[in-house]
Structure 1
Amino acid sequence: MPQPDNNGPAPSYGAGQRVTVAVYASDPILRVGVVHQLRQRPEIELVDHADADYAQVSLVTVDSVDDETAALLYRLRHNSGTRTGLVVGTFASGDALQRAIECGVTAVLRRAEADQDRLLRLVLAIANGEGVLPGDLLAKLLDHVGSLQRSALDPRAVSLSTLTPREADMLRLVSEGMDTAEIARKTSYSERTVKNVLHEVITRLQLRNRTHAVGYALRNGLI
């Protein structure tokens, strides 16, 4: 469980060592702002997107955690060589916060508080394997998890819809950025079958599109 951010001194990553960081953002302006802050610090080595999979820290900057953000975080979670931090404008609910944690986020910083020093502390903490979560967000997360546990004990609670193994596999591939043709080659099904399976999931669960379906499946622990 991440620990509250006490705004103490930046943790020591190691004398003479630089932390490699890949920056992801929901729009170019956000990315430029974060890159500008971190580029000035000698402890940080920024990597471009071509080498992003080899970065020690992936820093994702967004307004909020939507389905597209969740899909990105899920993909990053499966890269064992990198740890992920989130700089976020707001969490609409405890569910959104839990969703980010379940997708592999180990540290969170509010965008309004993301000055150069706090960004550096965040990155170095992530590199050292530490969790960072502001105290009020930690309280919100605990309240939300407690609420879910109480609901699970309620026999009247509605159970989650489930996915077949084939549906789950195809949604995992969608979350990795594959299109219909790529999924068909990977699974040895026809493109028509892939389209039909994904359409069935979207229709049955009353979702909007593939991205929404991936977000729903991640949020409910179905993939």
Structure 2
Amino acid sequence: MTCVDHNRPAPAFGTTAPQAPVPAGNPPGTPPAGPGRRVTVAVYASDPVLHVGIVHQLRQRPEIEFVDDAGAHRAQVSLVAVDSVDDETAALLYRLRHNPETRTGLVVGTFESGDALQRAIECGVTAVLRRTEADQDRLLRLVLAIANGEGVLPGDLLAKLLDHVGVLQRSSLDPRAVSLSTLTAREADMLRLVSEGLDTAEIARKTSYSERTVKNVLHEIITRLHLRNRTHAVGYALRNGLI
């Protein structure tokens, strides 16, 4: 899946409403950042509490200078903090990707699939940190790494990304090639439940996943294997002995 390109300015997260970008600002009189001094940072968050939390963690660090709204487009580092990568987040990341002045880091609650992780990378994200691990030291290391042109990705997410890309490559070379690794255990379980006549809500209750996750997983199977719908996916999996 590629990054969403809207033919209009992408929405940005802010502290009061998702439509208005509200980066954190330093107190008046703060000297501008310079080479070897402070890294200029703009923060975009999906809700005000999350925004305040990120700013609070880093505001007292001498290496960091938060920019105000007017200077957000010139920030060396843009930190985007969200629960997950949805279309609105992708639109913001896309806009930031096309700003040559900034590099983008993502503080995220969860990636519900390898496809979502790949989408974030394609949208220009160079570093990722989980929200549960976003303490002051890790946030600082993330910002400094981004400013130095480095990429940061937790080991398990890197493995997930490589596995996802490998599946896509195999599918691209031979869309109908089948192997035991074509479906993950979770995907096979959900397709098996579909074959038993369960709907999205029932599958969510059975598997303890959210309905959104169930929909995303089934959609990824259908997309990856170039199928038409859930029924087609179940028939395909049954014919090839995958469930």
Shorter-chain-normalised TM-score: which range? 0.5 to 0.7
Root-mean-square deviation (CA, aligned residues, Å) is 1.7
Number of residue equivalences: 145
One-letter code aligned to 2:68: D
Deviation at 1:156, TM superposition (A): 4.2
Match of 2:95 in 1: 75
Match of 2:203 in 1: none
Query: How many Å separate the matches in 1 of 2:50 and 2:106?
Result: 13
Q: Which moved more, 1:14-23 or 1:64-73?
A: 14-23
Q: Which runs of 5+ in 2 are unaligned?
A: 1-33, 178-243
1:140 to 160, 179, 198: 160
CA displacement, residues 166-187 of structure 1 (integer Å, 9 cap, x when unaligned): xxxxxxxxxxxxxxxxxxxxxx
One-letter code aligned to 1:29: V
Query: How many Å separate the matches in 2 of 1:94 and 1:48?
Result: 34
Match of 1:108 in 2: 128
Match of 1:152 in 2: 172
Q: Which moved more, 1:16-25 or 1:122-131?
A: 16-25
Structure having the larger proportion of residues in helix: 1
Match of 1:35 in 2: 55
One-letter code aligned to 2:140: L
Match of 2:76 in 1: 56
Query: How many Å separate the matches in 1 of 2:171 and 2:36?
Result: 50
Match of 2:198 in 1: none
Q: Which runs of 5+ in 1 are unaligned?
A: 1-13, 158-223
Higher RCO structure, 1 or 2 (CA under 8 Å, sep 6+): 1
CA displacement, residues 38-96 of structure 1 (integer Å, 9 cap, x when unaligned): 10101000012221100000000000000000000000000011000000000000000
Query: How many Å separate the matches in 2 of 1:39 and 1:155?
Result: 50
Query: How many Å separate the matches in 2 of 1:54 and 1:67?
Result: 24
1:19 to 36, 39, 54: 39
Which aligned segments of 4 or more residues in structure 1 are displaced greater than 4 angstroms?
none
Match of 1:94 in 2: 114
Query: How many Å separate the matches in 2 of 1:117 and 1:47?
Result: 20
One-letter code aligned to 1:19: V
Query: How many Å separate the matches in 1 of 2:93 and 2:105?
Result: 9
Q: Considering only CA atoms, is the larger Rg found in Structure 1 or Structure 2?
A: 2
Q: Secondary structure of 2:84's partner?
A: coil
Identity level (%) = 88
CA gap of 1:80–1:16, structure 2 versus 1, over 3 A, is closer
Q: Secondary structure of 1:108's partner?
A: strand
Query: How many Å separate the matches in 2 of 1:123 and 1:46?
Result: 12
CA gap of 1:144–1:21, structure 2 versus 1, over 3 A, is same
Q: Secondary structure of 2:149's partner?
A: coil
Query: How many Å separate the matches in 1 of 2:82 and 2:140?
Result: 18
Query: How many Å separate the matches in 2 of 1:64 and 1:155?
Result: 29
2:86 to 66, 80, 95: 66
